[in-house]
């Protein structure tokens, strides 16, 4: 775990010195295909809700990535991930259960990972940073519980700024900035999370990033891990 944390910190520091963009970004420039996912939100939501009907079959995040246990399992509440694509490697059985997402991914090659994220009631994801600035995170809210005032009951704080997305709203952001999330409700919150290849990187950084991505793809294929629920 310490070796992993050291490697992640070193990589993040290197990218921080070379890429300077804010925590949230304009999808019209960095991810134009975002509009297509937002337009299909109702169909995507139906697919995700159907999968949630067998939520016990969807792996917890730390079961997929044990090194993330401090983030995923710290409070004993579930954060489950239904993975349809991971670091460029598609999961065919899962894509069959989400045909709308599958069709959109087929024409969105810049999307390297795609998951349905199921955040259990009361779940807190503690403050942390992602490792890889070459990737941006797109968040499409599929189901959002509301509080007694009818406001979104789940909060995402990115670089000290609170975001409470309503159903159908989206956000493109850089997860190497400190962030945390809470589900302050008694219902499961469902979101589509996409990892999107960053545009406009310096040539040498883009080249190195593609090499790292290729290594991640190879590791996934060698491990032969099943992400199916």
| Of 64, 99, 97, residue with least CA distance to 78 | 64
* Spatial distance between the Cα atoms of 102 and 204, rounded to a whole number of angstroms: 31
Query: Cβ(155)–Cβ(191) under 8 Å?
Result: no
Structure tokens at 44: 């995507």
Residue-wise pLDDT for 219-228, tens only, equals 766 665 455 5
Task: Pick 69 or 91 by higher pLDDT.
Answer: 91
Residue reference for tokens 């670091």: 87
164 Cβ contact list (under 8 Å, min separation 6): 151, 152, 154, 155, 156
Please write the tens of the pLDDT for every residue from 72-82.
778 889 999 99
Read off the tokens for 63. Answer: 């079961």
pLDDT value for 224: 54
CA distance 61 to 66: 8
The pLDDT tens digits for 6-46 are 456 667 777 777 788 999 999 999 999 999 999 999 999 99
Say whether 24 sits in a helix, a strand or coil.
strand
3-state secondary structure at position 111: strand
Residue ranges with strand state E in the chain: 79-86, 89-90, 111-119, 124-128, 135-143, 154-158, 161-163, 170-173, 179-183, 189-197
- How high is the pLDDT of residue 165? 97
Neighbours of 229 (CB within 10 A): 18
Residue listed under structure tokens 């899962």: 94
Of 10-14, 67-71, 119-123, 205-209, highest mean pLDDT: 119-123
Of the candidates 98, 105, 184, the residue with the CA atom closest to the CA atom of residue 149? 184
Look at residue 172 in the predicted model and tell me its pLDDT.
Answer: 98
162's CB contacts (< 8 A; 6+ apart) are 155, 156
pLDDT tens figures, 55-73: 999 998 888 887 778 887 7
171: left (phi over 0), alpha (psi -120 to 50) or beta: beta
Q: In which band, very low, low, confident or very high, does the pLDDT at 3 lie, cut at 50, 70 and 90?
A: very low
2-223 CATH fold: Jelly Rolls (2.60.120)
């Amino acid at each position: 775990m310490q070796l992993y944390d050291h490697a992640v910190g070193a990589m993040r520091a290197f990218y921080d010195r070379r890429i300077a963009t804010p925590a949230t970004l304009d999808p019209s420039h960095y991810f134009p295909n975002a509009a297509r996912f937002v337009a299909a939100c109702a169909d995507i939501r139906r697919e995700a809700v159907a999968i949630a009907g067998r939520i016990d079959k969807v792996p917890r995040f730390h079961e997929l990535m044990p090194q993330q246990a401090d983030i995923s399992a710290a409070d004993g509440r579930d954060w489950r991930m239904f993975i349809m694509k991971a670091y460029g490697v598609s999961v065919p059985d899962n894509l069959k259960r989400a045909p709308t997402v599958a069709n959109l991914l087929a024409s969105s090659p810049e999307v390297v990972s795609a998951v349905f994220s199921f955040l259990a009631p009361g779940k807190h994801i503690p403050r942390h940073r992602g490792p890889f600035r070459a990737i941006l995170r797109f968040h499409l809210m599929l189901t959002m519980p509301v509080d007694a005032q009818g406001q979104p009951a789940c909060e995402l704080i990115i670089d000290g700024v609170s975001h409470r997305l309503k159903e159908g709203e989206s956000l493109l952001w850089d997860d190497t900035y400190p962030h945390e999330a809470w589900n302050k409700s008694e219902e499961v919150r469902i979101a589509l999370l996409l990892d999107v290849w960053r545009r406009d990187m310096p040539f040498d950084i883009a080249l190195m990033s593609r090499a790292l991505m290729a290594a991640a793809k190879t590791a996934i294929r060698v491990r032969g891990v099943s992400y199916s629920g």
